Chain A
Amino acid sequence: MSLSEKQISAAHRLGQDVCVVAGPGSGKTSVLIERFCWLVRECAIAPERILAITFTEKAATEIKQRLVTAFLNDYDTRERIERAYVSTIHAFCTRLLKENAIAAGIDPLFEVADDSVSGELRRESADEILEAIYAENPAAMRSFLGSLAVGTTRDGRIPDLADSLIRIYDAMRAAGADIESAALGPTGVDSALSKLQDLIRCIVSERVQTKSPRQLEEHGRFTIWARRILELPPVPTREHFELLNAKPFNKTFLVSGCMLRERRDDINDLVTHVRGEYLSAYYASERELIVEVLKRIHARFHAKKDARSLLDFADLETFAIALLEGDPALCERIRNDFDYILMDELQDTNPLQWRLLDLLRRPDRFFAVGDINQSIFRFRHAEPELFRGYQNAIQKAGNIVDELRDNYRSRGEVLTLVNTVFDGAGPGIVPHKLTGAREFPEKIVPSVELIGGIADEPDAEIAVGARKEALWVAKRIAELAGTLLIGEPGNTRPATFADIAILTRTNAAMTPVKNALEEFGIPSILVGGQTFFRAREINDLILVLRTLVNPCDEIALAGLLRSPFVGLSDESLLRLRQGDSIHRNFARGRFTDFETGDRKALEVFRDQMAELRAMRDSISPDRLLRRLIDASDFESGLSDRGRVNVEKFLGIVRAEFQGSLSELVERLGHLSPEAEAPPSDFGNAVRLMTIHKSKGLEFPIVCLPALHKGSSSFQPIITYAPGIGLGVKWRDPDGWKGAGDAVYGAVLDWQKIRQGEEDDRLLYVAMTRAKEHMLLSYAKAKRAVPKWAEFLCEQLGVSGGVAENRIREHEGLRILITNLPPLVAPVESIVTQENKPVLLNPPLVEEQFDSSASVTSVSLLAACPRKYYLSRYLRWEPRHASGFGFPDDDFPSADLGELDASEFGLQVHAVLAGTAAPEADAGALALAERFHSSALGQQAAQADRVEREFDFVMEVHGMVLRGQIDLWFESAGAVTIVDHKTDQVKLPVEPDRLKAYALQLQIYAMAIQKMTGRLPEAAWLYFLRPDKAIEVDLKPAALAAAGKAVLALRNAQDSGQFPLREGAQCARCEFYRGLCPAGKGLLEGIAFAVNQD
């Protein structure tokens, strides 16, 4: 899109701070990008010297992507854009703090805690502090709890004190306020009381023309009351409240025109105020306790984050500010790192963020775009006044504020409607006439429609009207899809469901429309929302995890058995309950009298669960779940969305798993609600989303149903507003009803005003999402007060409360106000092409043997495959199976007195190889000497070539073998190999043992042959202890057998089969009766023999 002159001049403005007031659809992102590009191209600013701040991660990615496209052919610049600061303010703070962690006084490896983690820690802190205070001073806590107007709610839960405290704590942090001063409230009872007293004096002094004794009596009652009020002692007691709660007169008996009657509202107001002020004074120590609690929560929360090296989002801002404010030189340096700062969506900034920006920006180098009318993130503490202030400052300095009013999004009729509705609407919206700047095709039908569902039946609730409304909306959607032409002039097409978005204030408000769409058979899809953890398939997966953790959780076990993973019938479930509990019967696994299908399913499932349980902490849970999902064909029962939800869940568990499944399951219970995963293909479905979610998006057709819904009227027991203070709803000491203190009412009033303003803006944002067509609708019941609906009808001059039951047009509006439901006629079902997955069979897996092995492995396998398996293949140490065996009192002394067998063997070999340390063991030296003086030793001493400890690698049958020959020597062309054995053997050496040793020498011979081209003449096993040399057979048959032994190793690895070879040698095996099952079974005889050995 090429930019307009106005857009360009805003983008290119220099020499002042720039404020671009950009209405909806005015192309503000394009202007921001243009500025970036222009600064780089025309002003030669390096990309990394521009700081661009966006409101969301998503926007940052989009801007970066667009910048990359803009510099597609300029690789150098593009590469620098990679490293440019285009990010959210939090990402920027993270980078700043990581690089300056020491100056900031934080852990350089800190991580950012997301809202769910930080919320959890806040929650823990609040609970712990409340508990601690209770433990320290139970009486104070009791009186505190008794004084707060906490009452149980309808469902029986105690309103959450910790939660209320956390709320105000958050608000104070976002306002950048410190708790002590933020909590400062009124201290005296003077102001309202003296006003009340003045008024009372005035009234009392009036001469009343009384007529009847009754009137006289009323005035008399009032005078008595008034006198008591005038004499109220300063320190409040219960009597004060009794007095204030008393009804001092009954207005119906008063003469009209008398002052008491005329000023009664003022009296009531003042009484409320005085009560509020007295409450503050009465509960002063409890109030102080709140402040103390807040301070301690802050400290505890901080300590908790600190212990885990976490910073939450608010910390990122506060620490960055503290860093810059605390070190002017550093601040200066960082400020100088950026020539320009570009800021998107300034209206969504909170006071902390603004303070930070203020520290970073240089004069006349700040560029911000935004629209105060679209500020809808108050719940995230956004402060639109900041934008207003910035704009005013620029104007005050005599500089230009750029206003982009041209709207490139919406049809004229839509804009006219917006202009009409918000013309002089109230303080929430800055009047700002939108002008259409885009061409649209001709259209005969009105572009804006209004539907009202009226519940005028006696006693009808609003829901009745909402249902009528929703059905009419669904019906209208069914009509519009396929008939309404949309698109460019000369290039139109009929609208589809995918062109339609339904926007509501909350997710909950969507339910009636969602149901109505279903009834009409209109496909719809929820974008965003918080239903992920409530989705059926996700719950099924959680059931698997819960059951794996502990199947005694029968709610999980039974749910899982009924889920598609097993598909058990309730009859079988009932049967499983017979005689014992479900989990025990399941564990026992006797399902004989069950229906065949159920029985088989149960048997398979029980085995699967046993296997998965055994590996539950050893492999990541996504793999556990996938095994079950794949085996049971779970996915084939899921929708496209269900499938991506499963994938999302697997991603979550993968990320959250830290080595313990039970901890994972617990953590899952604490995660914040999530939106369902976006399906890979939205298809031809109507989108449902909240207005907040729709920010920044646009749709050809927008429906705004449920306009009768207001914002939540939740009133916490403790409130806070910056600049006003901390307000509490206490129990009135007289009668224990809840009553707000002086600040409480003020804060609520303030919040109400702010909420009202934000409500206006929310509607504004919603209405400006529509490109071509808009459908507004509401419901009305007798008792209910419609919110936006009323306002809209008023602004449009439509009387919307009475059913007309006909469609009419009024100033370009199509209007239907009705108390009848429409006929439900489902739309022709739309066959979505099912994108069938390919089902793949497992591949043929061969040659799973190791690429290399040692020669000793070959002989070990030949001696006992299981021993090889345990010791070499799995590498388990026998001692690890022998239990926990540290001595209680006396610890092993450092010297054992005697060398253990393997260490001794090593020393002998070292002596023989000539590499021994000088302090070698005498026994080892003696044994070595035996060989030296033997005939073989003599031969070696006189050989032409001698190699000791000769290691080699060689390939045999596809396996690379590693070996080490103790000694080989060559005399007159003949090679002899010697292998020294230092172990205790009895002569004659057992044949099996001899065979295994011989095998090694035979392979050595093969290596020598391969290396030198000649087979050794002789190979000797030299048993040093009995001083006995035994010659090894090197005949071709023997060597071929050795080759076969290598093959056997290969095959064993390939097949995974490593059978036991039980026999006498078990006695010498360290695995015997430990990791090896030998001797535990049938072969008692052998076991006995071994024990005797």
Chain B
Amino acid sequence: MIQVLTGQPGSGKTRYLLERVLAWLRQGVEFRLIVPTNTMAEHLRNQLAREGFVFRPGAIVTLSKFLESLVPDMPPVSAAALELLVADALARIPLQEFERVRAYPGFRKAVVGQIQELAAAGYSSRDLFFDGFPRFRTPAEFAQIMERVEAEVTGHGWFFPSGRLRRAAERAPAIPRVIFHGFISFTRPELEVVGALGKRGEVLLSLPSWKGAGDALGALRRMGCTEINRPPADFGGDVNRILMTPSTADQEAEEIARRILAERSAGREFREIGIVIRSEHPGAKPLRCALERFGIPARFYFGEPLAESPVTAYLSAVVEAMLGGWEHGATVAALRKGGLPDDAGSDEFEYSVRAGLPGAGLPSLRLLAKRRYEKIFDQLERMDAWRSAPAPVREWTARFGSLPGLYPAPALGDGATPAWIAIWREQAAALAKFEECVAELGAILDPAGTMPCSEYWRKLVTVLDNATLRIPDNRRNVVHVLDAYEARQWKLPVIFLCGLLEKQFPRHHSQSPLLSDQVRVKLRDAGVVLRTAAERHEEEQFLFELATSRATSTLVLSYPILNAKGDANLPSFFLEKMRQDVALSLEPVLRCRPAPARPLRPAPTVTIYEEGLRDLLKARYASISATSLEKFLQCPYQFFAQSTLKLQEAPPAPEDRLDHKLQGTVAHEALKRVYSTGESLASAFQAEWEEACRSLHIPTGYRSEAVRIELFRNLEMFVNGQHLPGTTLSEFEKEFKVDLMEGVRVTGRIDRIDVDETGRALVVDYKYKSAQGIKDVVKAHDGGRLVQGGLYLRALRANGYQTAGMVYAGFRAGTEFGGWVDGGAFPSVDSGCTSEALNDVVRQAVDVAITAIGQIHDGRIRPAPAEPRQCDYCSFTNICRVETIAEQNGRGGARNELERETD
């Protein structure tokens, strides 16, 4: 006998059925309660146990467990197996329509999904070959693929759900009382089981009233069921319905957290509260973050893709690195995902590897590790053999099955926070699942079949991609975060239903690319009933009704007003409709955040006051180079960060190593060789260039070539131009030290000194700068923001030279000289400067240098860029926080002030 209990969502079907079950338990009647999901079975079992009953857990089972007990000899085909079979079929069968798309993973998935949809509804490819089968090429080719896949499935001894259900119907045991509960509809094969059970006992089904259940209800009626109809619950009820409209998704989550805390302090238990979202994405992550922040224990009823687990990411990265020949960048990146400890040694190892890129192979990497990580390298070396030769599947299974051992186990101490417990559980689950996947693939493939590692790995990736992790969390007193499907089985005092936006709830369903709605309509005429996009939309409406009927005391609905871009969102039309039928009270959203563990620290001062530290600075800068001094004059903070703290930067990628500075160095060295030894520019440049590229591991490519050609052309123009005066004596790279006053020593190196017949010396400083650049340098020197020129002259004088002047020789895109040269001495670079003026240049530079050194010793480090644009190219903006200094000083900051000055 079959009875069907129908009614709207929230009409009390669950209560009715549970009362039946309780009565049977009391009477000791044998029964089976069959539900769709594990969580629901678990939930009901616990609920009944808490009523004081002791009973067999098998009395409450999922449909799949129930089937398992009836057809243990018919293993179901897994999604991964199906996908591999589909891939195989697509590769083998000659296809016209699918020719262009057969290699796409998305297409493969679409085919798998379509086969699963048909199979679940009880159809096989045969059902698609009938007279009048829609004469479109797409479904026809699909049917061919499906037929092939079915044959393979059978060949492997697997079964589709419909086959298992049919056999189960044949084997249906005599159970006096069976309840099917929590299903929103039934497929044809499921109904066959229902019918069979109904013949041998009493079957009671609950079926919500909605359009999508119509076919099932019709079929049940044809089976001669009797109907019990629950009247619709009165929608007004005593449920308090609230609407809130926070501005963003994050604020929505925060507001939910705030309200949960309010409920909690009013005595509500966490377990009485549920949060419902249409589906895990995009709502779950903001919720996870918010609940954790506010210390609210919560259980998320979502599986996680195995592929996204850090364990899989690590193991996959190692395998990929191995297949890629242990390219150093990829290998070290892989190892950092788990193989290396998180300590300073590993951090430095990573940087040393990156600084040495490009590189490949384990032995050279091992050298860089300097005898550390021996164990892991041993392990990797054992893997190295994998990529050399094909091996039988059996071997791959054994090898990959042992791969989880590569993952270093964490120290699993007790007293850990829930976040750590979750992480460790996830790791354990992922390791176990990885092994399962390897075993699963082993069962799918012919164990004696031989293939190379890469091929096996591709297949294993397919299996891994199909696997979902269920991370155990069985805590009772937690807030439940559920999707709309899971929520259908729950009734809780307080429910938050959030993310009520168009395209989120309802989700929009597009037509299947394989069996379009047009085809589906035709198929329906032939008795093959598959849902169209419009029918799936109806399910969305039904899910919404379900979700809104889950609360027994308070229902809080919400949606964020703005999207991530800050534009207005479109609220769910379902919500609009609901608002017409029932009153929702609009409640405000309050800004909130967790009370901080400590108050915000005030902004730190930016001067070195402490005597001890100043002494350090004095000692450190008892002698200072002219170049460093200029750095200080450019910006004291930049100097502090770069010269005093000597902060280390991340190693640049090979292609970024060829920077401006390096180009300048190569040019300097080449010029030195040309002028001091008379070597030809071509050979001097080439030698220097190659040396620079070699020592910095700069790969030769079009970019380095572009730079090389440009630099060489510039040097060529400079050297061929021969604008420099003919001299009797030239010195190159001359080091000097000069004491400006007691305790103030400046050092430096002069690129070149030319001395004429009369013994007057000219300082030449090469700069890889354009004409404008040279003008700017001279201007800055005149403005007291640079000192090199004056100090070099001063140094020469101190060393007994008779100085004629100093020029900067720029050689970018043409040659340019700029500086201060005494009239008549070196006519080609004469700047018409008087010796008095030259003295002023020296005097000013010395004064500026003395003041600057004094400031350095006094711990002056305040950010003060000499030019506002300088900060745009400075690496230390994030340390000096130049713009916040501004705020501390009142309106307008260091940079603003400067901008104003230069405006």
A142, A570, A675 interface centre (most CB from chain B within 10 Å): A570
B874-895 interface code vs A (CB 8 A; 1 in, 0 out) = 0111110101100000011000
B813/A152 in contact, CB under 8 A:
yes
From B587-595, B740-748, B850-858, the one touching the partner chain is B587-595
Residues of chain A lying within 8 A (CB to CB) of residue B80: none
Q: How far is the CB of B731 from chain A (nearest CB, A)?
A: 28
A951/B56 in contact, CB under 8 A:
yes
Q: How far is the CB of A146 from chain B (nearest CB, A)?
A: 5
Residues of chain B lying within 8 A (CB to CB) of residue A552: 344, 347-348, 350-351, 648, 650
A142/B709 in contact, CB under 8 A:
yes
Residues of chain A lying within 8 A (CB to CB) of residue B333: 660, 662-663
Q: Please, how many angstroms separate the alpha-carbon atoms of A490 and B360 in the complex?
A: 80
Q: Please, how many angstroms separate the alpha-carbon atoms of A78 and B770 in the complex?
A: 67
A879/B405 in contact, CB under 8 A:
yes
A838/B110 in contact, CB under 8 A:
no
Let me know if A1035 is at the binding interface, CB within 8 A. no
Residue of B nearest to A146 (CB): B709
Residues of chain A lying within 8 A (CB to CB) of residue B431: 877, 880
Residues of chain B lying within 8 A (CB to CB) of residue A62: 568
Q: Please, how many angstroms separate the alpha-carbon atoms of A543 and B878 in the complex?
A: 8
Let me know if B420 is at the binding interface, CB within 8 A. yes
Q: Among the listed B336, B402, B428, B510, which residue makes an inter-chain contact with A874, where contact means beta carbons less than 8 Å apart?
A: B428
Residues of chain A lying within 8 A (CB to CB) of residue B251: 647
Within B605-664, the residues touching A (CB, 8 Å) are: 605-610, 613, 616, 640-641, 644-650, 659-660, 663
Q: Among the listed B46, B248, B594, B640, which residue makes an inter-chain contact with A852, where contact means beta carbons less than 8 Å apart?
A: B46
B593/A463 in contact, CB under 8 A:
no
Let me know if A569 is at the binding interface, CB within 8 A. yes
Given A536-B881, A840-B594, A880-B404; A597-B601 close (CB under 8 Å): yes
Q: How far is the CB of A464 from chain B (nearest CB, A)?
A: 6
B409/A1075 in contact, CB under 8 A:
yes
- Chain B contact residues (Cβ within 8 angstroms of A): what range? 35 or more
Within A673-699, the residues touching B (CB, 8 Å) are: 675, 677-678, 680
A874/B424 in contact, CB under 8 A:
yes
Given A61-B570, A550-B350; A583-B648 close (CB under 8 Å): yes
Q: Please, how many angstroms separate the alpha-carbon atoms of A253 and B899 in the complex?
A: 49
Q: Please, how many angstroms separate the alpha-carbon atoms of A844 and B573 in the complex?
A: 38
B107/A107 in contact, CB under 8 A:
yes
Let me know if A1085 is at the binding interface, CB within 8 A. no
Residue of A nearest to B880 (CB): A562
A541-557 interface code vs B (CB 8 A; 1 in, 0 out) = 00100100011111110
Q: How far is the CB of A1004 from chain B (nearest CB, A)?
A: 11
A631/B398 in contact, CB under 8 A:
no
A152/B812 in contact, CB under 8 A:
yes
Residues of chain B lying within 8 A (CB to CB) of residue A285: none
A512, A636, A876, A1074 interface centre (most CB from chain B within 10 Å): A876
B414/A631 in contact, CB under 8 A:
no
Given A637-B600, A880-B409, A952-B54; A840-B336 close (CB under 8 Å): no
B594/A630 in contact, CB under 8 A:
yes
Q: Among the listed B295, B603, B702, which residue makes an inter-chain contact with A145, where contact means beta carbons less than 8 Å apart?
A: B702
Let me know if B155 is at the binding interface, CB within 8 A. no
Let me know if A185 is at the binding interface, CB within 8 A. no
Residues of chain B lying within 8 A (CB to CB) of residue A467: 900, 903
Residues of chain A lying within 8 A (CB to CB) of residue B45: 852, 953, 960
B513/A101 in contact, CB under 8 A:
yes
Q: How far is the CB of B336 from chain A (nearest CB, A)?
A: 7
- Chain A contact residues (Cβ within 8 angstroms of B): what range? 35 or more
Q: How far is the CB of B768 from chain A (nearest CB, A)?
A: 7
Residues of chain A lying within 8 A (CB to CB) of residue B295: 842-843, 845
A587-623 interface code vs B (CB 8 A; 1 in, 0 out) = 1000000000100010010000010011101111011
B54/A571 in contact, CB under 8 A:
no
Let me know if A750 is at the binding interface, CB within 8 A. no
Residues of chain B lying within 8 A (CB to CB) of residue A309: 104-106
Q: How far is the CB of B118 from chain A (nearest CB, A)?
A: 17
A650/B428 in contact, CB under 8 A:
no
Q: Please, how many angstroms separate the alpha-carbon atoms of A150 and B710 in the complex?
A: 8
Residues of chain A lying within 8 A (CB to CB) of residue B382: 884, 886, 888
Residue of A nearest to B404 (CB): A880
B891/A884 in contact, CB under 8 A:
no
From B168-176, B258-266, B487-495, B786-794, the one touching the partner chain is B258-266
B455-475 interface code vs A (CB 8 A; 1 in, 0 out) = 000000000000000001011
A951/B57 in contact, CB under 8 A:
yes
Residues of chain A lying within 8 A (CB to CB) of residue B502: 64, 82
B576-599 interface code vs A (CB 8 A; 1 in, 0 out) = 110010000000001111111111
B106/A110 in contact, CB under 8 A:
yes
Let me know if A519 is at the binding interface, CB within 8 A. yes
A850/B344 in contact, CB under 8 A:
no
Residues of chain A lying within 8 A (CB to CB) of residue B516: 99
B702/A141 in contact, CB under 8 A:
yes
A130/B645 in contact, CB under 8 A:
no
Let me know if A905 is at the binding interface, CB within 8 A. no
Q: Please, how many angstroms separate the alpha-carbon atoms of A82 and B571 in the complex?
A: 11
Residue of A nearest to B111 (CB): A108
Residues of chain A lying within 8 A (CB to CB) of residue B138: 102-103
Q: Among the listed B385, B398, B596, B900, which residue makes an inter-chain contact with A515, where contact means beta carbons less than 8 Å apart?
A: B900
Residues of chain B lying within 8 A (CB to CB) of residue A597: 601
Let me know if A839 is at the binding interface, CB within 8 A. yes
A960/B46 in contact, CB under 8 A:
yes
Q: Please, how many angstroms separate the alpha-carbon atoms of A573 and B138 in the complex?
A: 68
Q: Among the listed B411, B645, B884, which residue makes an inter-chain contact with A573, where contact means beta carbons less than 8 Å apart?
A: B645
Q: Among the listed B293, B375, B394, B567, which residue makes an inter-chain contact with A58, where contact means beta carbons less than 8 Å apart?
A: B567
Q: Please, how many angstroms separate the alpha-carbon atoms of A932 and B322 in the complex?
A: 57
Q: Among the listed A515, A623, A634, A1058, which residue makes an inter-chain contact with B896, where contact means beta carbons less than 8 Å apart?
A: A515
A828-852 interface code vs B (CB 8 A; 1 in, 0 out) = 0000000111111111111111111
Let me know if A1037 is at the binding interface, CB within 8 A. no
A843/B107 in contact, CB under 8 A:
no
Let me know if B279 is at the binding interface, CB within 8 A. no
Q: Among the listed B426, B659, B902, which residue makes an inter-chain contact with A618, where contact means beta carbons less than 8 Å apart?
A: B426
Q: Please, how many angstroms separate the alpha-carbon atoms of A870 and B428 in the complex?
A: 10
Q: Please, how many angstroms separate the alpha-carbon atoms of A880 and B409 in the complex?
A: 7
A570/B608 in contact, CB under 8 A:
yes
B402/A886 in contact, CB under 8 A:
yes
B573/A874 in contact, CB under 8 A:
no
Q: How far is the CB of A721 from chain B (nearest CB, A)?
A: 26
Within B293-326, the residues touching A (CB, 8 Å) are: 293-297, 308-310, 313
Q: Among the listed B293, B375, B406, which residue makes an inter-chain contact with A626, where contact means beta carbons less than 8 Å apart?
A: B293
Q: Please, how many angstroms separate the alpha-carbon atoms of A100 and B289 in the complex?
A: 39
Given A102-B98, A617-B313, A883-B405; A82-B513 close (CB under 8 Å): no
B347/A583 in contact, CB under 8 A:
yes
B289/A614 in contact, CB under 8 A:
no
Let me know if B66 is at the binding interface, CB within 8 A. no
Q: How far is the CB of A659 from chain B (nearest CB, A)?
A: 4
Given A68-B576, A1075-B412; A615-B419 close (CB under 8 Å): yes
Given A58-B567, A567-B602; A659-B610 close (CB under 8 Å): no
Residues of chain B lying within 8 A (CB to CB) of residue A64: 502, 570
B104/A108 in contact, CB under 8 A:
yes
Residues of chain B lying within 8 A (CB to CB) of residue A877: 428, 431-432
Q: Among the listed B337, B414, B590, B861, which residue makes an inter-chain contact with A869, where contact means beta carbons less than 8 Å apart?
A: B414
Let me know if A811 is at the binding interface, CB within 8 A. no
27 pairs across A/B with beta carbons < 8 Å?
A58-B568, A95-B510, A101-B101, A103-B138, A107-B101, A108-B104, A130-B702, A131-B702, A141-B705, A146-B709, A157-B660, A519-B891, A551-B344, A619-B419, A623-B289, A633-B598, A647-B251, A659-B310, A840-B294, A876-B427, A884-B402, A952-B56, A953-B46, A955-B52, A960-B50, A1007-B54, A1056-B415
Query: Besides the contacts A105-B101, A155-B660, A845-B297, what 14 more A-B pairs have beta carbons closer than 8 Å?
Result: A57-B567, A83-B508, A107-B101, A130-B701, A536-B881, A550-B350, A555-B879, A604-B598, A619-B419, A631-B596, A650-B250, A660-B333, A847-B269, A883-B375
